[in-house]
Structure 1
């Protein structure tokens, strides 16, 4: 054996000893693509334990292992790193997916570079493939890629070294109408996403500093002409060991449409509120603070606006009965709305007017409020009272009333009857119910006393108690109250028909 051969073998053994314990995978090849040796790291990266499992040469290696680019395209056998180095190519950081030809589930990702070993005269005598297992990094990158693409928020990623876009997600393409090819590779000068930004100088400065760009409004040019109002923000990140900036966007158009619709709705409400001839008031639900009143309210109650706005309903004190006011708002808080509840309203000059109030809950600037509408029914009430009074004046009892007249009177009363909680028939005692039933039969006090075998004074006391509990003031009102509730309809007969 010549001295040169011995020297070469000695150098190789020393080289193998040096690299055997390295974490990088190393495969040593002859110039004819014969695989001479591989360290443990290289074997592990291929999922094998012995060097012969790699194959004797490049051809057998290609039969045992399938290689794929990161875009899922297969690497032709002639372009395997082991073939390229044999052709004398010098390369670095070639990313390939490596898997056994019969088991694609055992895929690993290698970053491969080449090296040539020369003798003292500079003649190449061996070839070396050095590889790193970057499977975990590739998996993390893949997860990022999937998350980035699936994110509905429009986004692009710009490489800071040359200010070119390297990634764009579907959300950005759908928002703008650009195609992927129109964005990838473009520079920020060609597609200026900061065009018209309200703080463009700050954004450019932060971009140069590789620092976070705060949210700001901007105008994004569209491929078919025109522009779109957006909110843009930038977040620095590292991708493939390169400094990049992630730009994310919010499309302002849907929000703008909502704001326009809301403004138009508020304008319509304001116009209707101002122009309606019916007194109307808006107060907060929390403390009944008056937020707004219309001109009809001020005119009808003769109040100047400064004595109403900013004060509570209790402070203005225009509802005559404090108890009725408390019951009204308690019922409104419980039900959320009221329909035609009778209340007495006091004008600034102390004059009382009869009103029916309807109310509903509305949201104003995200706060619950009450909208109260007051209908002046003073004249109608006066007409009803005059009718009842005239009947009572002519007839001291209801003994001659026909069923039709009683029921029509009940219907007239029920149209404007309060919807607030009132007394129930069951609130009367058994004796008071008997008395009310005989009143509805048209009997006078003496006749009731004889029927129930009671003293006349006792009957009068029962009648007075019934009036008080029912909040009525005459026999006819008591009869109407009972008819409204369908009481005693079968037992009652007008006098002369019994």
Structure 2
């Protein structure tokens, strides 16, 4: 008997599986190195001399047999002669509960010829790494906010579902687990349904595709679905389905479509000539009715219409530069050619836009020919009356001059009455063509004083040279003799 025991110990010593030998009197007679390592001990005594001590030293909790009661310890089942296999238990030492192992255990009972038990053995495998990986998967699966579902390939039943899927669809957990693929079809209206179903049955990857889920609220939920083959505990082949909600994308697409329809209607109904030009602002791809009526459509000439609009190529080049620099142009004044060949004055406004992902330039044109003609006629009339303005009062002449050449924005107009008497004297001298020394001699002033007054005159009327002073004076009806009379009037006013 002792010889047989020695032979058994020699056999199990080198096994990678852990083996614990138990005698019929419930003493632990042997444990190989693998069994000791699986319990985190170095010697047989650390396991316990007897079965009772082993039960006290190590706490075992079943992981795959929840129906087995606490009194049905694997050792007790072994002592009762029960044959069992693949019992998975979590093991930890009672003095160190934070450290644990996962063991898959089976029983081994040897008997003599008369059927009496001669030896008992617990044979175990350390499956801690696998269960740790599965636990990590479980934690990640539950915590992942992305909707996910696990379907068993063998019978196409759902074995796991996370909260993300329940939130997406409105299902309750019990309404999903245990149900079959036929009951909850995840690939309804899928783009490549036949391929997806074939890959599901074969346990192959299902590439992502759009599909429609029927949800409990009797509505449809559009999603992107994909399937990934995985192995569950026990080696079960499963398919992990993941989903992305397309509801927001579909709403955005509908809004974009409505927005484009509104733009198209506003574009066509606008009374202002409007065109969609190419990115460089040259070729018209689409024009509204007002534009086509005035300038013609893209099909009216081989170049698409836009290049032939411009009368002056230099203006066109400036427009392109301004558009490229700022991405938009406001009130660009240019002369354009109508479909009848007539040149018209226009204000061109343009803005870079994207339609269906393609870059365009939205261009609106305002015909200002009539306004320009009115302005030209008014200026001509002003110039005519200004040619003989002796019968006008200085106030009227001043207003006509300001209409002809309005001051720059933010600057106050230069008025004759704001000039000092000495500046009137200088104005008369300049209009007669006198030089600074001549003016100084005539007025009895030093040359530096004359130049100081001249600088003040330049500043008030907004010029920087003598010829501009003469132009400014003549616009206000002040010539050589008139300037002299203006100076005299200023002196008389000073005396009184």
TM-score by length of 1: 0.76
Among candidates 27, 47, 53, match of residue 54 of structure 1: 47
1:386 maps onto 2:370 in alignment: no
**In the alignment, does 2:175 pair up with 1:182?**
yes
User: 1:270, CA displacement in angstroms?
Assistant: 0.5
Q: Does 1:343 align with 2:334?
A: yes
Q: Distance in 1 between matches of 2:194 and 2:225?
A: 14
Of 123, 126, 141, the residue aligned with 2:134 is 141
CA shift in 2, pair 1:28/1:224, >3 Å: farther
Identify which of 188, 201, 221 aligns with 2:194.
201
Task: Determine whether 1:156 maps to 2:149.
Answer: yes
Match of 1:253 in 2: 247
Q: Is the 8 A contact 1:33 1:83 kept in 2?
A: no
* SS of residue paired to 1:450: coil
Once the two structures are TM-superposed, the CA of residue 143 in structure 1 deviates from its matched residue by: 2.9
Q: How many residues align?
A: 434
Moved more, 88-97 or 353-362: 88-97
1:198–1:375 CA distance, 2 compared to 1 (3 A): same
CA contact (8 A) 1:292 1:309 kept: no
Tell me if 1:36 matches 2:44: no
- Please list, as runs of the form range in 1=range in 2, the aligned pairs for 1:288-327 lying within 5 A after superposition: 288-301=282-295, 303-307=296-300, 311=304, 313=306, 316-327=307-318
CA contact (8 A) 2:148 2:242 kept: yes
SS of equivalent to 1:78: coil
- Describe the SS at the equivalent of 1:214: strand
43-52 or 282-291: which moved more? 282-291
1:318-347 deviations in Å (ceiling 9; x for gaps): 122222222222222221222212111111
Mapped partners of 1:149, 1:89: distance in 2: 38
CA drift of 1:475 comes to: 5.5
Q: CA deviation at 1:306?
A: 0.8
Q: In the TM superposition, what is the alpha-carbon distance from 1:286 to its structure 2 partner?
A: 5.0
Q: Deviations over 1:357-402 (max 9, x none)?
A: 2222211122332211111111111112222221112114998766
Offset of residue 405 of structure 1: 5.7
Give, in angstroms, the shift of residue 42 of structure 1. 0.9
Q: Report deviation, 1:446.
A: 6.2
- Tell me which stretches of 4 or more aligned residues in structure 1 moved more than 4 Å: 68-71, 397-415, 441-446, 451-454, 494-498
In structure 2, stretches of 5+ residues that fail to align are: 411-424, 439-461, 477-485, 492-496
> What is the deviation of 1:173?
1.4
Distance in structure 2 (CA, Å) of the matches to 1:407 and 1:67: 105
Q: Equivalences for 1:80-479 in 2 at 5 Å?
A: 80-240=73-233, 241-285=235-279, 288-301=282-295, 303-307=296-300, 311=304, 313=306, 316-396=307-387, 447=431, 449-450=433-434
Q: Which moved more, 1:326-335 or 1:260-269?
A: 326-335
CA distance in 1, matches of 2:174, 2:283: 60
> Can you list the C-alpha shifts for 1:84-130, whole angstroms capped at 9, x where unaligned?
33344433223333222233443222222222222233323332222
Q: Distance in 1 between matches of 2:254 and 2:240?
A: 31
Q: Which has the greater radius of gyration?
A: 2
Residues 291 and 310 of structure 1 are in contact (CA less than 8 Å); yes or no, is this contact kept in structure 2? no
- Using a 3 Å threshold, how does the CA distance of structure 1 residues 145 and 479 change in structure 2: closer, same or farther? farther
Distance 1:291 1:277 in 2: 19
Partner secondary structure for residue 317 of structure 1: helix
SS at match of 1:384: helix
Q: Which is further off, 37-46 or 96-105?
A: 96-105
Q: Is the 8 A contact 1:115 1:128 kept in 2?
A: yes
Say if 2:16 is the partner of 1:23: yes
Superposed CA RMSD in Å reads 3.8
Change (3 A) 1:447 1:412: closer
Distance 1:310 1:395, change over 3 A: closer
**CA offsets per residue over residues 54-110 of structure 1, 9 Å max, x none?**
123344334333344559x9x975344333333444332233332222334432222
Is the contact between residue 337 and residue 360 of structure 1 (CA under 8 Å) also seen in structure 2?
Answer: yes
My pick for the range that moved more, 115-124 or 253-262, is: 115-124
Counterpart residue number, 2:458? none
Q: Is the 8 A contact 1:151 1:171 kept in 2?
A: yes
Determine if contact 2:210/2:222 at 8 Å carries over to the other structure: yes
Q: Confirm or deny: 8 A CA contact 1:197 1:219 kept in the other structure.
A: yes
CA distance in 2, matches of 1:281, 1:112: 81
Q: 1:290-309: CA deviations, max 9, x gaps?
A: 221111111122x1341369
